[in-house]
């Protein structure tokens, strides 16, 4: 089955999804980064605007939460918008730089992302 999203769109969604999954995975193993074998961060992250980064996080949230909650992604627009806005607003410049370089949140950013999930009343992925 062929996706209706262009290749770039699929890459953006995949990068955001990997970011959220890696953040959740590292939260369960503090001090360790998830082994993301074969993952290469999207090179456009390095120059993406903060609003673009927020959009990526919002999209990743909608994908992960729709699977987790077994609901349509469209029902998660507001809570995932809340999550993305709060997460990116909480990150300092070093955490944003780390996200841009790796494509996923470092330990301190992960803690902030998990706080945002709780604040926006979204369940934490296991």
DSSP 86-126: HHHHH--HHHHHHHHHHSS--HHHHHHHHHHHHHTT-PPP-
Q: Is residue 95 part of a domain?
A: yes
State which residues form the domain around 77: 43-120
Contact 79, 122 (CB under 8 A): yes
Cα-Cα end-to-end distance for the chain: 29
Is it the case that residue 21 has pLDDT exceeding 60?
Answer: no
Tens-place pLDDT, residues 63-96: 999 999 999 999 999 999 999 999 999 999 999 9
Contacts of 47 (CB under 8 A, 6+ apart): none
Q: Is residue 103 part of a domain?
A: yes
Q: Is residue 72 part of a domain?
A: yes
Q: Is residue 1 part of a domain?
A: no
- Total domains, the chain: 1
DSSP 38: T
């Amino acid at each position: 089955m062929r996706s209706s999203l262009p290749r770039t769109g699929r890459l953006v969604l995949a990068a955001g999804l990997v970011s959220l999954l890696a953040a959740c995975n590292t939260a369960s193993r503090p001090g360790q980064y998830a082994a993301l074998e074969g993952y290469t961060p999207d090179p456009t992250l390095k120059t993406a605007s903060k609003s673009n980064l927020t959009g990526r996080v919002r999209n990743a949230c909608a994908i992960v939460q729709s699977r987790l909650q077994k609901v349509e992604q469209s029902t998660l627009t507001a809570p995932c918008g809340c999550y993305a806005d709060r997460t990116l607003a909480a990150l300092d410049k070093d955490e944003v730089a780390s996200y841009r370089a790796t494509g996923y949140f470092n330990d301190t950013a992960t803690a902030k992302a998990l706080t945002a999930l709780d604040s926006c009343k979204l369940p934490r992925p296991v």
